[in-house]
Amino acid sequence: MSQGSAPDAAPRLEAWEVFRQEKVGGSMTHAGSVMAPDAVLAAHYAREMFSRRQESIRLWVVRRADVVDLDDADLLQPPLDRSFKKPGGYVMRDKLAAARKQSGQAKPRQRSG
Partner 1 sequence: MTDPLALEPILGPLERGRPAFNDDLPQDERFALFESHIAAGLKVEATDWMPDEYRTSVLRFVEMHANSELMGVLPEREWLMRAPTLRRKLALTAKVQDEVGHAQLLYRVAEDLGKSREAMFDDLLAGRTKFHNVFHYPTAGWADVGMIAWLVDAAAIVAQQALRDSSYAPYARTMRKICWEESVHIMHGRDVVVTMAIGSAAQRAAIQDALDRWWGPLMQMHGPRSPRDKDRDLHWRIKAKTSEELRQEFLTIYVPRILELGLVIPDPELRFDEVAGAWRYTEPDWEELRRVVTNHGPMSESRLAFRRLAREETRWVRESILGVPAAA
Partner 2 sequence: MTTARRRPATELDRVLSPDTPHATALAELLLAMADDEFVIGFSDSEWTGIAPLLEEDVAMSSLAQDELGHAAALYALLAGLTGTTVDAIAYDREPAEYRHCRLLDHGRGDWAMTIARRYLYDSADVVRLEALVAGSWAPLAELVGKLIREERYHRMHAETWLERLARTRGEPRDRLLTALATLSTDAGTVFTPLAAEPALIEAGIMAAPFTTLETEWRASIEPTFAALGLPMPEPVSDPGRGRLDHGDAFRWLWGEFTMVRRADPGASW
Q: Applying CB under 8 A, which residues contact partner 1?
A: 10-15, 32-37, 48-49, 52, 69, 71, 73, 76-77, 86-88, 113
The item of partner 1, partner 2, none sharing an interface with residue 1, based on CB under 5 to 8 Å by kind, is partner 2
| C-beta separation of 33 from 64 below 8 A | yes
Q: Within a 10 A sphere around the Cβ of 107, how many other Cβ atoms? A: 8
Binding mask 38-77 for partner 2 (x = CB under 8 A): --xx--xx--xx--x-------------------------
- H/E stretch holding 102 reads helix 93-103
Cα angle 80, 96, 102; round to 5: 145
Comparing CB distances to partner 2, the nearer of 31 and 34 is: 34
